[in-house]
Amino acid sequence: MEKELGIMHINKDLILKYNQPGPRYTSYPPANYFHTDISVEDYKNAIIKSNNDYPQGISLYVHIPFCPVLCHFCGCNTSGSKNLDLFRSYIDAVKKEINNVADLLDHNRKVLQIHWGGGTPNSIPLDMVKEIMDLFMDRFELDAHPEIAMECSPAYLELEHIDQLAAQGFNRLSLGIQDFNNDVLRIVNRLPSKLPVEALVKRMKENGFEGVNFDLIYGLPGQTVESFRKSIEKVIEISPDRLATFSYAHVPWVKKAQSVLEKTGIPNAEEKLALMETAYALLTENGYIPIGIDHYAKPEDKLSKALVNKKLHRNFQGYCTRETTGQVYGFGSSSIAQLDNGYFQNTKSIKDYIVSINKNGWAVERGYQVNKNEKVIRTVINEVMCNLFVDFHKVGLMYGMDADEVKQIVAYNTNKLSPFLADNLLEINKEQLKINDDSSFVVRNIAMTFDPQLNIIENRYSKTI
Ligand SMILES: C[S@@+](CC[C@H](N)C(=O)[O-])C[C@H]1O[C@@H](n2cnc3c(N)ncnc32)[C@H](O)[C@@H]1O
Ligand code: SF4
């Protein structure tokens, strides 16, 4: 049954057909391929090597694993803490880690992006944020227009905080809205915004913030098409530059706290699809451009322009443009350094992180060193996930090989692609593969066909919808 919805032509049967578990490919290989056979020496060598690898820019990521109250749905690495002594020891450890990484980096490389995530970075005293920002300014050379962003929970955000963050150099804020419906927020144990979100956004604009992002989640208990429509209408009214509507990832085998939501009743795949359709239709009718999976941006936003120019990129912090993607150096517990030559993740335990940094200056625990073939696969999967387009010839040119060799490395198999061709989701023209308009819901499925290591184990991944 084909249904017309705004500019979207959505085929529900196809979406449900392709609703399978699979990696989200925030990185390739995905984080669940990481292993513990990685040493601090490997990480240090990778940092030194990254000084010479493409791309030359630097992105800095700071993880703050604290939230005053924990939401039942949360899939992030965080803890429910308001302990100022713990914050102090943690920030001191982060500063040590920053100094150790900075010692190994080439200081001619410019910082393009600084991202604060969590947890809830705006729940710690902003003086502590300033200590780290001052250290960044001291130890690194910033680009003329770096993107400096923080993920904030509006439950703890005051207008003066926005002024203070602006004074520290922040120019982008992401507000975790999740839903504007207070009944839904109550069910998931989340506090609503302390101040009207309109007032927060107004203050950001007054402070010259270039980017305002909202995060929403669909598929939470208590959400109905009607209630979610109202939330999306409110988003459109406030008009952020970008927003994400994440599909609720229910993974109680990893995040036990999520099990409590099963008692209230979690929307099933068809109900989730109806929520997704509602958001997609309203947002696209109102001028937002869908970006990759789950994201939207205004047409004048850098991400929309990058999509048109096939220059969209992705890292653990979200979508970005090729110009703003540096190699990512992560600081704090659970943070991941995302380098061209590999991934290095710190221990997830806050206590172990502090002890390890204080003892030997480093806290890396897991990771993955990426070989040349895996870089080729990563490029192909990134093109599918971000730009919905792959030119195998062009990918080959990047690695000094021809299109056939690229195809061999990604185990290109026409049989695996034929269901997508038969369902008119994909076009293949010589060495180019193009995912059709309104078919972005299958990008994960198509990316999976190019992942020769993929071994789907039941319950290991969340589903597409
Ligand atoms: C680190 S949190 C954002 C900052 C802040 N802690 C907040 O909640 O407002 C990043 C985002 O991940 C998303 N998220 C968290 N758990 C999720 C889940 N289980 N499924 C899908 N998205 C999730 C939420 O939309 C959240 O805003
Ligand atoms: S969603 Fe945000 S506020 Fe809620 S527990 Fe997770 S990190 Fe904390």
Segment 250-261, tens digit of pLDDT? 989 999 999 999
- Check whether residue 186 and residue 289 sit in a common domain: yes
CB 233 within 8 A of CB 278: no
* Mean pLDDT, residues 146-166 taken together: 97
- What residue type is assigned to position 139 of the chain? R
Q: Is pLDDT above 90 for 360?
A: yes
Query: Containing domain of residue 360, as a range?
Result: 23-369
> What confidence score (pLDDT) does residue 245 get?
96
Nearest to 189 by CA among 308, 280, 80: 80
Q: What is the number of the ligand 1 atom nearest to the C-alpha of 247?
A: 21
5 is a domain residue: no
Beta bridge partners of 38: none
Length of the chain: 465
Among 354, 369, 384, identify where a domain stops. Answer: 369
7 inside domain: no
Average pLDDT for 336-364: 97
Q: Is residue 346 part of a domain?
A: yes
Q: Name the domain boundary from 369, 389, 418.
A: 369
**424 shares a domain with 304:** no
Measured CA to CA, the distance from residue 211 to residue 166 in angstroms comes to 12
| Sequence-ordered strand ranges (E) for 181-335 | 211-218, 242-247, 289-291, 295-297, 312-315, 318-321, 327-331
Atom of ligand 1 at shortest range from CA of 78: 1
Q: Is any ligand 1 atom within 6 A of the Cβ of residue 74?
A: yes
Does 450 score more than 60 pLDDT? yes
14 assigned to some structural domain: no
pTM: 0.93
Q: In 3D, which of 311, 319, 455 has the Cα closest to residue 387?
A: 311
Please name which of 101, 35, 125, 145 lies closest in space to residue 328, comparing C-alpha atoms: 101
Q: How far apart are CA 129 and CA 145, in angstroms?
A: 20
Using CA atoms, how far apart are residues 100 and 358, in angstroms rounded to an integer?
12
- Taking only the tens place, the pLDDT of each residue in 268-313 is 988 998 999 999 999 999 999 999 888 999 999 999 999 888 888 8
Looking at the structure, do residues 385 and 350 belong to the same domain, yes or no? no
Q: Is there a single domain that holds both residue 184 and residue 300?
A: yes
Task: Please name the residue that has the structure tokens 């010839």.
Answer: 393
Last residue of a domain, one of 333, 353, 369: 369
- Looking up residue 378, the CATH number of its domain turns out to be 1.10.10.920
In this structure, the answer to whether residues 127 and 218 fall within a common structural domain is yes
Ligand 1 pocket member 75 (CB < 6 A):
yes
What confidence score (pLDDT) does residue 430 get? 87
H or E segment at 2?
A: strand 2-5
Into how many domains does the chain fold?
Answer: 2
- Same domain for 264 and 172, yes or no, is yes
CB-CB contact of 399 with 372 (8 Å): yes
- Which atom of ligand 1 is least distant from the CA of 190? 8
Q: How confident is the model at residue 325 (pLDDT cuts 50, 70, 90)?
A: confident
Longest Cα–Cα distance of the chain, Å, equals 62
- Does 262 reside within a domain? yes
pLDDT over threshold 70, residue 462: no
Whether the pLDDT of residue 167 is over 70: the answer is: yes
What is the rounded CA–CA span in Å between residue 265 and residue 110?
A: 49
DSSP state, residue 387 = I
Least distant ligand from the CA of 220: 1
The H or E element that residue 374 is part of is helix 372-382
Q: Is the beta carbon of 219 within 6 A of some atom in ligand 1?
A: no
Residues 98 and 221 in one domain: yes
Q: Is 398 in the same domain as 294?
A: no
